[in-house]
Structures are given as C-alpha cells and as structure tokens.
Amino acid sequence: MQYIENTEIYELLLKHHIIGYFHYVDNILIMYREDHTNIYDILDCFNNLTPSMKFTLEEEKDKKLNFLDITISKEQNIFSVDIFRKPTTTDVIIPNDSYHPIERKLAAIRYFYKRMTTYILSPDNLQKENIKRQYILVNNNYDTSISKKASNKKNKTSKQQNGQNLHMLENKRIYH
C-alpha cells in the first residue's frame, strides 16, 4: 500500500484535485470539493490500481460520518468532531477489584482521558465525554479520583497534540 500511495495514488490525488488524503492502516479519508471532484471516478481509479484490493465508499449521512472512534460533522464549511462508540460497545474495562496489575487497569483510564483531551471537542461534547468516562469508571468499581492520577501520569503532552488524530477512518473505505 505504501508503494502504491507514493507512486500511483499521489498522482490520482493531484489529478482529481483532492484537498486531503489521510489513512490509518487500511482506512482512508479523502476530503474534496464536490464541484471539482467526482468521488465515484476516484473510487474506480482506486479499484483499478491493483486487483487484490477492493475499495468501498461510505458517504456521509445527515452531514455526519463515523470513522474509527470519531464522528465528523459538517455544518456549512465547518467540521466538528465527537467521540463515536459503536452500538455494541459495552464500556466494560478491567474492573478495579480484579487481580490484574494496576498498570493494565490504568491503561484504559488513560486511553479514555487522552482521547477526550486530544480531539478538538466542542465544550458540550467534551462535557458529555467526561460524564461518560466517569460513568465507565463507576460501573467498573473505580473511585473517579483515579482518573486524575492516571491522566497526570502519561498525558502531559496531549494538549500539544490536540486534533492530530482526526485523520483516522475505516476499513478500506474512501470517506467524503
């Protein structure tokens, strides 16, 4: 994939006036202007690059698109981000009263905190995510004060990285 990106895909992006191309493993997000680019032509070009890969297209619905663990929303020409959870998400983490090492228990807590503070969330979405994080802690028998201890330990640089993870999306799909 890296070779194809550096040779053929790069040329396709230029030819079709793509504004942004982001990928994470086999997940691709393409940003473009509808008045300059036909996304179905790009999909055909991608699928003709190599017969061993099949790309699919997932289009936004109601001006929203879920990609990995975020929802990207579009109002006019402004994008916003929220945390996305699949309907099957259970919010179960290693319970506090289990015999797992403390570092493994704290890993999930740090993950939720880092995700919440790394993405550029609106104040309402940030508050909603913080409430959800506290709910997860309580349901897994943690004192909510552990959240600050876990977050202070490994997340001192998260504010500097704010927003850099917006580029992740889903399973060989071109998003727009």
Domain boundaries in the chain? 2-59+166-175, 67-165
For residue 121, what is the DSSP state?
B
Residues of the chain with pLDDT under 70: 148-176
Q: Is this model's pTM higher than 0.75 or not?
A: no
Provide long-range contacts, Cβ within 8 A and 24+ apart, for 107-112: 109/137, 109/142, 109/146, 109/147, 109/150, 109/151, 110/150, 110/151, 110/153, 110/154, 110/155, 112/136
- Looking at residue 151, what is its pLDDT? 64
Residue type present at position 41: D
- Looking at residue 174, what is its pLDDT? 43
- Looking at residue 134, what is its pLDDT? 92
- Looking at residue 176, what is its pLDDT? 45
Residue type present at position 68: L
Q: Of 56, 2, 39, 49, whose CA–CA distance to 24 is shortest?
A: 2
Q: How far is CA 103 from CA 115, 120, 134, 161, in A?
A: 18, 27, 19, 23
Residue type present at position 156: K
